[in-house]
């Protein structure tokens, strides 16, 4: 199944605990960006557009542990930039795993072969390799030839070494239902990755390419056609309700506080896709951010966003509030 039962139960218990305590805002997962530097210059990403002095900054192991413990999250996504460029990334992962935090390490996999021996397989740890299409499409998306083949080779090596490996794919208006199906079939059936995450691209303000992000109606039509008759076949690491949302079967309000982001600049308001200032602590982020300002119809920057960071938490909350959806989610994990 896409997510191990033990992990699902841990996350469900965490969310139930927050609700019982009457907390309005709490993390589903925290995104940690220990650096913004990267070894790729992807047209759809704006991270390396930061000034040089910012690109040289790194979070320490202590910085990361403190942020995770302060937020109380049971699950972390380590992104960037390229995390494998961080000289202490293996120590960061080990410190979180020691605390029984579930860790997803996102990587373009260029350095994975050289770094793999620094890590130890654990049920709390997964590599997440970014793949936006098959060979030609992915290499075009990252603006470098040969990256797809390196990523595929690294995935095979990591799985052979006993690591859990998932993938993350972002789709643009240059994609078609066929390119999505072809990629997911390859990842699911040929590479046999443990799970796959998908998301329509969000228009980063600093991204060099501003022409190929998906508007809402085009997103819904694209996923509706791509999913037709095949959705249940793939090991998609998403709730059924979020996948319904992508198809336009249901609509959801954004939950911008559900996946907060912590980086070398602090806690980012309101989410990792937008930068309306930073808070020094998680408590400051939660208590001083006007969450009501964000979402479709509230902020023009949100109008075409259907990204998982805002809407997967919404889908999970809606699932928890419905016996039918809860049973459906349980069935989908088996």
pLDDT in tens, 204-254: 555 444 565 788 899 999 999 999 988 989 999 999 999 999 999 999 999
Residue 29's pLDDT is what? 95
pTM: 0.92
Locate tokens 């997962």: which residue?
29
pLDDT range class, residue 333, cuts 50, 70, 90? low
* Rounded Cα–Cα distance for residues 307 and 312 (Å): 8
pLDDT range class, residue 283, cuts 50, 70, 90? very high
Contact 78, 126 (CB under 8 A): no
pLDDT in tens, 40-79: 888 777 677 788 999 999 999 999 999 999 999 999 999 9
Q: 3-class DSSP state for residue 16?
A: helix
- Name the nearest CA neighbour of 11 among 74, 56, 64: 74
* Rounded Cα–Cα distance for residues 133 and 94 (Å): 31
* Rounded Cα–Cα distance for residues 260 and 239 (Å): 19
User: Average pLDDT, whole number, for the chain?
Assistant: 91
Residue 323's pLDDT is what? 67
**What contacts 24+ positions apart, CB below 8 Å, involve 246-250?**
246/198, 246/200, 246/219, 246/220, 246/306, 247/220, 247/223, 248/217, 248/220, 248/221, 248/223, 248/224
Region 135-164: mean pLDDT is 96
């Amino acid at each position: 199944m896409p997510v191990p039962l033990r992990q699902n139960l841990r996350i469900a218990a965490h969310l139930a605990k927050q609700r019982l305590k009457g907390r309005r805002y709490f993390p589903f997962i925290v995104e940690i960006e220990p650096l913004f530097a990267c070894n790729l210059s992807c047209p759809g990403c704006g991270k390396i557009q930061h000034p040089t002095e910012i690109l040289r900054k790194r979070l320490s192991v202590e910085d990361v542990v403190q942020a995770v413990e302060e937020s109380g999250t049971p699950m972390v996504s380590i992104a960037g930039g390229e995390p494998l460029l961080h000289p202490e990334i293996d120590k960061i992962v080990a410190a979180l795993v020691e605390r029984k935090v579930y860790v997803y390490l996102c990587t373009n996999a260029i350095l994975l072969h050289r770094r793999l021996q620094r890590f130890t397989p654990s049920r709390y740890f997964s590599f997440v390799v970014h793949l936006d299409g098959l060979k030609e499409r992915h290499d075009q998306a990252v603006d470098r030839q040969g990256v797809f083949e390196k990523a595929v080779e690294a995935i095979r090596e990591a799985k052979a070494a006993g690591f859990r490996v998932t993938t993350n794919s972002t789709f643009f208006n240059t994609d078609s239902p066929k390119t999505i199906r072809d990629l997911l079939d390859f990842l699911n059936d040929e590479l046999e990755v443990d799970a796959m995450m998908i998301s329509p691209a969000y228009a980063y303000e600093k991204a060099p390419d501003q022409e190929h992000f998906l508007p809402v109606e085009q997103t819904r039509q694209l996923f509706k056609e791509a999913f037709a008759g095949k959705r249940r076949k793939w090991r998609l690491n998403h709730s059924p309700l979020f996948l319904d949302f992508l198809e336009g079967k249901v609509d959801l309000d954004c939950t911008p506080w559900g996946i907060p982001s912590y980086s070398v600049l602090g806690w980012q308001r309101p989410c990792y896709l937008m930068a309306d200032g930073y808070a020094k602590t998680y408590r400051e982020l939660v208590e001083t951010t006007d969450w009501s300002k964000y979402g479709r119809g509230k902020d023009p920057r949100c109008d075409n966003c259907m990204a998982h960071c805002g809407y997967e938490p919404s889908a999970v909350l809606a699932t928890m509030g419905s016996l039918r959806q809860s049973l459906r989610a349980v069935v989908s994990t088996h």
